[in-house]
Chains A and B, each alone.
Chain A
Amino acid sequence: MTATANTAMSKAEEREARRRAKRLKRFDSPWMNPKLLWGAGILIGILLFGFFGRLLWDPELVFIGSAPLNLPPLGFENLRGDGGSTAHPLGTQSSGRDILALLIVGAPNTLFIGVIASLIGMAIGIVLGFSAGFIGGRTDDVIRVIADVMITIPPLMVLIVFQTSIGEIGIVMMGVLLSGFMWQSPTRLIRAQVLSMRESGYVRMARLSGASTFDIMFKEMLPNLVPYLFGSFIAIATTAIVTAVGLETLGLGPQRVPTLGRVIYEAIDSAALLRNMWWWWGIPTALLATMFIGLLLVNLGLDEVANPKLRKV
């Protein structure tokens, strides 16, 4: 009896200890810090909203004239005293587009522009950063100067020139164009890290053991840079999205494909503020703000991963 009770006890204790250890481990892993989790949660939430939204809601409602005009969200009244409708729970705007559908289609598009710009920018940045840091010499000089120069050119201005002379562009094209301004800061960051790592023990070891430059760069050094890369990725994605939203609110960028910036542009253009149609500009603004907060949290969280010192604060 007592023996069985004892074993039962110890089993329970063991389980408890294991659970505690797991929990400890979870909190110990720098990747599991609350900022990162919250931030990632917000961003994934927006993506899921877009993904499931398309399944559950009719994306065709983003087109002009697909819904009644100027409906308020459920539970509110517009200026004419019409109440909201369950067919359009977040209301509609003045040319008969459904706000919910605009968000479902627009939010992932907006994120998507950032991701494309960021991915391409990172890829360029990794190649150039490593080349500059590892090869050094003339290559380093050239890359460094170009990155220094390009980093001061505001992407918005160049893209405005591009749009007005070339004409309308799509989502992917916009991402690609933006990426031309997104490689400079990862390049600089990676170059600096590579320079400091180049002299570290394990890289010297690898070099002594005859590993190729390529192997050293991508097999030995790259994994150590991952937190920086992620941080940089998020930072430039944020910049890309801010720039894209800026272009869209000027009425440039994709015209027929909804993006959050475009929705806001149309709201401003149709005097939604004066019409008191807060749902038209307010809901996309709130969603964009949430998106930026998510990005910020992820960025802060990644900072903690990269700089353990910050974690204690």
Chain B
Amino acid sequence: MGRRGKQLVLGALGVAVLLALIAIPYRDPMSGDAPIAREDTVIFDLDRSIKNPRNFNWLTPGVKRLHGAHQAMWEPLFVLNYANGELEPWLGLSIESNASHDVWTLVLRQGVEWSDGEAFDADDVEFTARMLMDSDAISAREAIRFKAQVDDVEKIDSHTIQFRLKQPNPGFHIENFGVLNFSSFLVMPEHIWRGQTVGSFDFFPPIGTGPYTFSSATSQRAIWDRDDNWWGARAGFLELPAPKRLVWIETGGQENRAQLLRSNQLDAGQHLALGIFEAIQARNPNVVSWHDGFPYSWTDPCPRQLEINATVEPWDNPAMRKAIAHIVDRQQIIDIVYEGSTVPSKTMFVQYGAMQPFIDAVVDAGYELPTRANLEAAHAIIEDNGYSMGDDGTYVKDGVPLTTRILANTASAETTGTVDLLVEQLQRAGIDARSVPVEDGVFWGEVIPLGDYEMSYSWLSCGSVNEPWASMVRYTNNSMAPIGERAPGYNNTGRWDTDATDRYTAVVNRIGQLSLGDPQIPGLVAEAYRELDAETPFIPLVQAAKVLSFNETHWTGWPRANDFYVHPMHWWNSTHLIIHQLEKADGGP
């Protein structure tokens, strides 16, 4: 009997081991895809997971575009090329306005086809435009911006569409159709979308006009295969791109990203801390960045800043916000978080050459942001407002300590690093600050648009790259939503709405009426900036340096400082320009 017991035990153990082995999940994304050699595949970095791999309705929130959809499948109408400042035609051929900038005429390229063979024409553009204008269910920033500006759309002929704006806007074409920032107006196929409910349609499987078609996606990766029947090659627009397959994988953190780059399993990587990049390059010289040497980095068009909720005590008091601005030490953020690879923000704007006149105007008016902290000034303001320093080094007023909570999006180490440092700076200045990690989806889906925060770290004055209006308009009270309702387009999420805001809005709206390059603009920028300086609705921190990595083991032709044909953000809609430039590396392993 004892022997039988033993056998029973051994049997049970054996079964358990077998079960454990069988249970290892082998549900596979790649299965069903024909094998394509690594040499023919380009692997891009995705810095977040794809929560809805079977949903391609980009008008609703979620990762619906940057996993390849708008880099490989959906093509833009135009691309504002940061390299030369020109608006390069893509699906569009030309776009022009009338003299008063309130009627714009778009002409489409001939011969464009959807990947299912249907023709791409003015009907698709008109349909998409009307869908955006008529729907309340959309939340993508590009869609909301378009909806806010356009009054009516009219098809002139099969390749010409006219847009009538609610207000004159000299920058309409760049803002909406030019991939100004991350993405733009993406045209959807009318023959598939017609009759669908905009808010709930999943658009699966998706189609586009691009040279790659959707193959498969899981929460960790999306695969796109080349469509050798692409319209562009047939129409003589461009040759087929060289890679047969594009893959976006969720790398999950800098360490994995670095490891994949080092072992040539990743061709285009997102941001790495400078020290990590240097360590990788020391081991794998094929891994390169924007510059060949220090500081390696590319300046992202979205400068970093601290957002403050102007409706929450005590930060509803402009003086207290100013105190925070005095406490912030920009140089320390650069030294520590960016390891010296970027520069402090002088104003709210990105420090590109084209922005220089406006930055100069603000600086000349005396509103330049300091590099270093001014703690005396901060202490003086806080004490003026009735606080006194407690025994534990924290300010107290009526027995209540001065506290704040800064929300940090957990998606990137840069964010959490900066917030940790801001917390440290505020703590040392006597404010009991805490960092609160918030998941990416919740951060952008809820707390930011609803204004459900005290302070948060983000890049919400992003927008301008060659003119000042796109950034400045985001802090006007043109379309204020109360706390708890969604701020349209993530604009003025801190709900800054005072008399100063009215004055600011009036000036910014005037800027919006002027043509690009109008000599009045710098002066008006300085005038509007006076209100920002006085009330500090947000605190610009530093220029965002991105150490993007490209691996030249398998593919060359990446955009770099010495080969600056387009800006290098490979998660943007402008990536279409990059994929056509890639070439197989000779003698790769």
B476 within 8 A of A: no
Q: How far is the CA of A256 from the CA of B428 in the complex (A)?
A: 12
B136 within 8 A of A: no
Q: Contact at B279–A65, with CB atoms within 8 Å?
A: no
Q: How far is the CA of A96 from the CA of B428 in the complex (A)?
A: 16
Interface residues on B, range: 20 to 34
Among the 9-residue stretches B87-95, B318-326, B413-421, B494-502, the one with 4 or more Cβ atoms under 8 Å from chain A is B413-421
Q: A69-B335, A274-B255 are in contact. Are A256 and B273 (CB under 8 A)?
A: no
Interface residues of A in 61-83 (CB under 8 A from B): 63-65, 69-70, 79-80
Please name the residue on chain A nearest to B436 by beta carbon: A167
Q: A269-B413, A274-B280 are in contact. Are A94 and B421 (CB under 8 A)?
A: no
A10 within 8 A of B: no
B420 contact from A64, A70, A79, A274, Cβ within 8 A: A64
Interface residues of B in 226-269 (CB under 8 A from A): 254-255, 258-259, 262
Q: How far is the CA of A94 from the CA of B414 in the complex (A)?
A: 13
Q: Contact at B254–A271, with CB atoms within 8 Å?
A: yes
Q: Contact at B421–A64, with CB atoms within 8 Å?
A: yes
Q: How far is the CA of A94 from the CA of B272 in the complex (A)?
A: 13
Interface residues of A in 263-279 (CB under 8 A from B): 268-271, 273-277
A62 to chain B, nearest CB (A): 11
Q: Contact at B332–A65, with CB atoms within 8 Å?
A: yes
Chain B 17-49 interface 0/1 with A at a Cβ cutoff of 8 Å (1 = within): 000000000000000000000000000000000
B156 within 8 A of A: no
Chain B 414-451 interface 0/1 with A at a Cβ cutoff of 8 Å (1 = within): 00010011001001100000100000000000000000
B339 within 8 A of A: yes
A8 to chain B, nearest CB (A): 68
Interface residues of A in 248-298 (CB under 8 A from B): 256, 268-271, 273-277
Q: Which residues of B contact A277 (CB under 8 A)?
A: 275
Q: How many A residues face the partner with a CB closer than 8 A? A: 21
Q: How far is the CA of A49 from the CA of B280 in the complex (A)?
A: 36
A95 within 8 A of B: yes
Q: Which residues of A contact B276 (CB under 8 A)?
A: 270-271, 274-275
Q: Contact at A65–B339, with CB atoms within 8 Å?
A: no
Q: Contact at A271–B255, with CB atoms within 8 Å?
A: yes
B259 contact from A168, A268, A270, A274, Cβ within 8 A: A274
Q: How far is the CA of A70 from the CA of B335 in the complex (A)?
A: 11
Q: A270-B413, A271-B255, A274-B280 are in contact. Are A95 and B421 (CB under 8 A)?
A: yes
Q: A64-B424, A256-B427 are in contact. Are A94 and B339 (CB under 8 A)?
A: yes
Q: How far is the CA of A269 from the CA of B437 in the complex (A)?
A: 15
Please name the residue on chain A nearest to B332 by beta carbon: A65
Q: How far is the CA of A219 from the CA of B78 in the complex (A)?
A: 90
Q: Contact at B336–A270, with CB atoms within 8 Å?
A: no
Q: Contact at B417–A95, with CB atoms within 8 Å?
A: yes
Q: How far is the CA of A268 from the CA of B336 in the complex (A)?
A: 17
B282 within 8 A of A: yes
Which positions in B face A, CB cutoff 8 Å?
A: 254-255, 258-259, 262, 273, 275-276, 278-280, 282, 332, 335-337, 339, 413, 417, 420-421, 424, 427-428, 434
Knowing that A64-B421, A95-B420, A269-B413 are A-B contacts, what are 13 other residue pairs whose CB atoms are under 8 Å apart, sorted by A's residue number? A63-B428, A64-B420, A64-B424, A65-B332, A65-B335, A69-B339, A79-B279, A94-B275, A271-B273, A273-B255, A274-B255, A274-B276, A274-B279
Which positions in A face B, CB cutoff 8 Å?
A: 63-65, 69-70, 79-80, 94-96, 168, 256, 268-271, 273-277
- 24 interchain pairs (CB within 8 A)? A64-B421, A65-B332, A65-B336, A65-B421, A69-B336, A70-B339, A94-B336, A94-B339, A95-B337, A95-B417, A95-B421, A96-B335, A268-B255, A269-B413, A270-B273, A270-B275, A271-B273, A271-B279, A274-B255, A274-B259, A274-B276, A274-B279, A275-B276, A276-B279
